[in-house]
Amino acid sequence: MANLQQLSNDFDNEPYMSQQQLSYFKNKLLHWRNELSSNLERAVQQTSSGAENAADWVDTASQQTQAELSRVNCEHSLHIMQEIDDALKRIKLGTYGFCIETGEEIGIRRLVAMPIAKYTIEAQEAQEANRRKFR
C-alpha cells in the first residue's frame, strides 16, 4: 500500500496519463506479459515432459487432472496476455487510462491495481449487473 501511496504522490503534480505515467504502465504491462510468457513456456515444457505412462488408474487420473488444470491455467494466461496487448495498443493510441464505454478517467489507483482495466468502476459494475440480470 505504501508503494501505491508513493506512486499517487509522485503522479499528483502531473496531468492525467502524462508521459511518466504512460511509461510506468507500459513497463508494468510488458513486465507482466514477459512473466506470463515465461510461465506459459515452463508449463508447456512440463506438460510435454510429464507424458509418462501411469502405473495405475489413480496415477492416470491424477495426471489427467493435472493436465486439465495446466490447460485451464494456460488458457487464462493467454487471455491475460491478449488483454495486456490490448492495453499496450491503447497506450500507443493515446486512449489508455480512459473508460472505453464512457470516456471518463479510470484512475491511477485502479490502473495500478489492474493495469488492463478498460472501464471505470461504475461502468464495470453496470456491465456485471447486466450480465447477472440476463443469466
β-bridge mates for residue 79, sequence order: none
- Minimum mean pLDDT range among 27-31, 52-56, 87-91: 52-56
CB burial of residue 108 (10 Å; 0-12, 13-18, 19+): buried
pLDDT at 37 over 90: yes
pLDDT in tens, 51-87: 556 678 887 788 788 878 888 889 999 999 999 999 9
Which set of grid coordinates corresponds to residue 8? Answer: 499517487
pLDDT in tens, 115-133: 999 999 999 999 999 999 9
CATH 1.10.1520.10 fits domain 2-133:
no
Question: Would you kindly state where each structural domain of the chain is located, as residue ranges?
Answer: 2-133
Alpha helix segments (H runs only) across 1-135: 2-11, 19-49, 57-93, 108-113, 121-133
Residue with the bigger pLDDT between 19 and 60: it is: 19
Please give the pLDDT value at position 46: 76
pTM: 0.82
